[in-house]
Amino acid sequence: MPQPLILVPTERERTLIEPALETAWGGRARVELCGFGPVVAAARTAGLIAEHRPPRVLLVGIAGRLSDRLAIGEAYAFERVACHGVGAGSGDAFTPAESLGWPQWPGDARDSATRIGDVLPCSSGGDAGSEQAGLLLTACAASACETDVIARLRLFPGATAEDMEGFAVAAACRLAGIPLDIVRGISNTAGDRDHSRWQIDAACRAAASLAAAILGVRS
């Protein structure tokens, strides 16, 4: 029987998440690295889906919060994921692709559901007993300062956290017709590059626990 595919961006995240996930969830799942950043994550996800034909995909890792309603060291599931960085211009002059009238993928002639704009769903439905965190924002580069955060929230005011792989994985899953859930443990505040204030270990453990709960509900 095909196993769910659990994707983790980096080896450091996997060393923390995989053992905790195996302990918390009694079922079987395949855990693989999807890589760091949207380009490799999209390509790697597409390849793994083609190889393993999973019934569903779960992306698990860390993220920086854009909203203080998300607590550092806790984990959240997201309903939607947006893309920042594909479009025209930079800084305050940046305009997302769909706002320019160019979807990133127009959809197959026989299946318009594969259309990819600037926002994609990333929840397969159901309730794992956790609050949905709304919109996750994926960027090619993490925010380096408060100015970056302000510029991104101007375009995507509903975003509550940012990562670097979510939209890429969602795009690959959409093209393959595979349901996806995204869980991110909040390791830091976006724009804060002082790693002494980050809580990576706690965020990864929380993400593993929530991922296990989602697997239990969806299986």
Number of domains in the chain: 1
pLDDT at 27: 80
pLDDT at 131: 64
pLDDT at 2: 84
Distance between CA 7 and CA 48 in Å, rounded?
10
pLDDT at 127: 60
Q: What are the structure tokens assigned to 98, written together?
A: 């769909």
Whole-structure pTM over 0.85, yes or no? yes
Domain housing 57: 5-218
pLDDT at 185: 98
Of 30, 22, 34, 33, the residue nearest 52 (C-alpha):
30
pLDDT at 143: 97
**DSSP string across 191-205:** T---GGG--HHHHHH
CATH assignment of the domain containing 53: 3.40.50.1580
pLDDT at 123: 84
Spell out, as residue ranges, where the chain has pLDDT lower than 70. 109-112, 125-131, 218-219
pLDDT at 62: 98
What's the pLDDT tens digit per position in 18-27?
999 988 888 8
